[in-house]
Amino acid sequence: MNELTTELMELLAAAAAARERAYCPYSTFAVGAAVRTASGALFYGCNIENAAYPSTICAERVALFSAYASGEREITALAVIADTPEPVSPCGGCRQVIFELAPRAVVLLANLRGAWRITSVAELLPDGFALINRLGGR
């Protein structure tokens, strides 16, 4: 998939809107994310920082955890956006969470300048760590 479908553009717009809600007084690096589930539901996330820095949570995890907390288990797409020179890329911790909670999702990475890249979870984290094999087979 090398084009932005209407569905992916909608998801990216949701991620951009979520980014506006970021709480990032320490890094000033606002990130927004949105996920779509198989049922069509959208869930949003933004990064939330804390003075106790390990307590900070990334936008991708907020969106995924919100979906899971609402009972959704099949994530079909994830969009992430930030003000970066190139399309933003999830941190290592988020890549691992995406690998476990959304293994088959289409991943859209973007920046505020209009650049974007579509990728897969396997491309983001080849040979990710798994206690539970969610993709089938070994």
CATH number of the domain within which 20 lies = 3.40.140.10
Whole-Å CA distances, 25 to 8, 17, 82, 97: 29, 18, 15, 25
Query: Is 60 an active-site residue?
Result: yes
Strand partners, 54: none
Q: In which band, very low, low, confident or very high, does the pLDDT at 137 lie, cut at 50, 70 and 90? A: very low
Chain segment 71-118, per-residue pLDDT in tens: 999 999 999 999 999 999 999 999 999 999 999 999 999 999 999 999
**Is 68 contained in some domain?**
yes
pLDDT value at residue 131? 83
Q: Is residue 75 part of a domain?
A: yes
- In this structure, is residue 91 part of a structural domain? yes
Residue range(s) defining the domain that contains residue 97: 6-124
Global pTM reads 0.92
- Among 3, 7, 60, 74, which one carries the catalytic annotation? 60
- Count of structural domains within the chain: 1
Residue 38 falls inside a structural domain: yes
